[in-house]
Chains A and B, each alone.
Chain A
Amino acid sequence: MSSIMKDELERLARVAVGYGRDDPAVDVFLVFVGALDPLPDAATLKPAARVVGKLRLARSLDRPGESRLGACRLLAAALAAPPRGEVVRREDEPPAAPVVAPTSAGAGRSEVRATGTATAERPVRTERRVPELVDALVHAIRSALSIFA
């Protein structure tokens, strides 16, 4: 799954949580995640799951409705063991860049990179295009509105 998808999901999660963890906006986001098809892999969902928080996700599982599937997906991703590729670098991966210094400009936690980590940028193939994502979002909002009506 693409890193764009991962970043966008994390960003949307931050927007939703920004209203407060108990705000229905979080449930709207969960409905959106539940509507994603095909299902993103755990690595793609994990950052968003971390933003929402395991206990908030677990609480969402108590509530029937479409947000439950999204909570299930995110919580399963949060609990999933990291794939071996994240632990042991595969030989076909590009070599890691030299150690970089923190690049934080104080704008937020997501922009802070710990010393000793590196990011190698390379072209990625997106599995889903923007129109599909918009469709999924519209479907999620409709579902959420029907729930909270």
Chain B
Amino acid sequence: MAERSEITAVAVGAALGAAAVVLWKRLSAPRRAVPMAGVTPAKVSEPRSAPAEPPPQASAAPPTPRAGTAALPAVLVTGAGRPAGVCVIRALKAAGARVVAADSDETAVGLQLADAGGTIPTADEHDFVAALCELAAAHGAQTIVSTVAEDVPALAKGSAAFAVAGLASWLPNPAAVRTCLDKWTFAQAVAAAKIPHPPTNLGRANGVGGPWIVKSRFGGGANDVHTVDDPAELPWAIAHTPHALVQTRVDGLEFAIDALVDRGGELVGAVPRWRLEKERGVSTKGRTFEDRELVAQAQHLVSALGLEGPVSIRGFMLSSNGLYCFTHVNPSFSGGLSLSLAAGADLVGEYVRGIVGLPLRRERLAYEPGVTTERFYDEVVITA
């Protein structure tokens, strides 16, 4: 009898993106999608009356594709083990696309969710681009979607190789990506653009008021992050954080914006959502909302950074005065992308259209505000 081994791939961070439930929607008012008809601030001054609340309705189904997504090309998705990668794979599968997943970890859960998959070297290895081209050729992928911002500079260097291999790509300017990945450079860039940002300093707190958050200049997610209330504890936190960045800890409500920027730098789709709960830096509960003024500020931000393609923006609504403050921009899809997809914005499908040179359609990037999404763990069981 052949030896039988069972591997249970319990997707921890990754499988947060593997399942999403649109648990509750406000149905009291007629549902309306928020179009992206421009980013001119148009604040509403009068409050709407509070309507009677109907019973909550829940749906466990993944976001269903709308008509018009069937003609997507075969897509190679990198970062298949991360929440963003899993979100993109599931969205593309739901849209009827053939998906080839890639990750440096052979146990990445996205490899099991896609039509085909394979392991690749990490982006800092010399054969990274060649391995991607081989994987694409082996499985007929025609486009590449990177869900790992840190991979973009290496991918950008491989653009010519991708073109030769018939693999279409659309990558942001590597310099803009480096600005986003380096929190200190980012802080300086947004300060120069007069965009609200918490006071920040490198390696010390001079001029930066407390309470503080100390995090790595180059870190991502929730790694190497220390919250500090007592000035006496600040030296310890700085000493135990590589490339320590000291920032005033913002008191407020955190938001994220999943957005798509066209090749001209214009924000053609933007879904703001409150981050009602998160685990290890990934949003697990959220609610979409509408605020044209915030989207206008986001447009200013991406223009200042020179970004294009998928973008995830983070910030806070300040408890002190209700104004917005931006803390971070990720030049890639976010781990909480499924929350925005559930609200109706086809960010993934339109990005793939953009990769192959088709115009982005604003109407397909519209979304419903007031959609609350709660995520849960899911598992993939592999029997071999």
The 8 Å CB contact of A62, one of B53, B251, B289, B319, is B289
A73 at the interface (CB under 8 A from B): yes
Most chain A beta-carbon contacts within 10 A, residue among B48, B276, B321 = B276
- Asked if A72 contacts B322 (CB within 8 A), the reply is yes
Indicate which residue in A55, A62, A72 contacts B317 across the interface (CB closer than 8 Å).
A72
Q: Which of A100-143 contact B (CB under 8 A)?
A: none
A39 at the interface (CB under 8 A from B): yes
A63 and B252 in contact, given A55-B24, A58-B372, A79-B276 (Cβ under 8 angstroms): no
Assuming the contacts A61-B289, A72-B319, asked whether A147 and B47 have C-beta atoms less than 8 A apart, the reply is yes
Note all chain B residues with C-beta closer than 8 A to A64. Answer: 43-47
Contact status of A69 and B321, CB under 8 A, knowing A39-B251, A55-B24, A79-B253: yes
Tally chain B residues at the interface, Cβ within 8 Å.
33
* Interface of B: prevailing SS: loop
Q: Check B174 for interface membership: any CB of A closer than 8 A.
A: no
Determine whether B26 belongs to the interface, using a CB cutoff of 8 Å to chain A.
Answer: yes
**Of B48, B53, B277, B372, the contact of A63 (CB 8 Å cutoff):** B48
Nearest Cβ on chain A to B380's Cβ, whole angstroms: 30
9-residue interface stretch from A4-12, A20-28, A91-99: A20-28
- CB-defined contacts of B63 to chain A, threshold 8 Å: none
Q: Is there contact, CB below 8 Å, between A76 and B48?
A: no
Docked-complex contact B43 and A75, CB < 8 angstroms: no
Nearest-CB distance from B53 to chain A (Å)? Answer: 5
B53 and A21 contacting across the interface, CB-CB below 8 Å: yes
A62 touching B290 in the complex, CB below 8 Å, given contacts A21-B53, A72-B319, A76-B319: yes
Contact call B24/A61, Cβ cutoff below 8 A: no
Cβ contacts B195-228/A at 8 Å (1 or 0 each):
0000000000000000000000000000000010
Which residues in window 26-63 of A have CB below 8 A to B?
A: 26-27, 34, 39, 42, 54-55, 58-59, 61-63
Structural contact, A59 and B26, CB atoms closer than 8 A: yes
Nearest 10 Cβ contacts at the A-B interface: A69-B322, A65-B47, A76-B253, A63-B47, A73-B319, A58-B287, A72-B253, A22-B50, A72-B317, A76-B319
Interface residues of A (CB under 8 A from B): 21-24, 26-27, 34, 39, 42, 54-55, 58-59, 61-65, 67-69, 72-73, 75-76, 79, 81, 83-84, 147
| Subset of 18 A-B contacts with CB under 8 Å | A22-B50, A34-B322, A42-B251, A55-B372, A58-B287, A59-B26, A61-B274, A61-B317, A62-B290, A63-B48, A64-B43, A64-B44, A64-B45, A72-B253, A72-B322, A76-B252, A76-B253, A84-B229
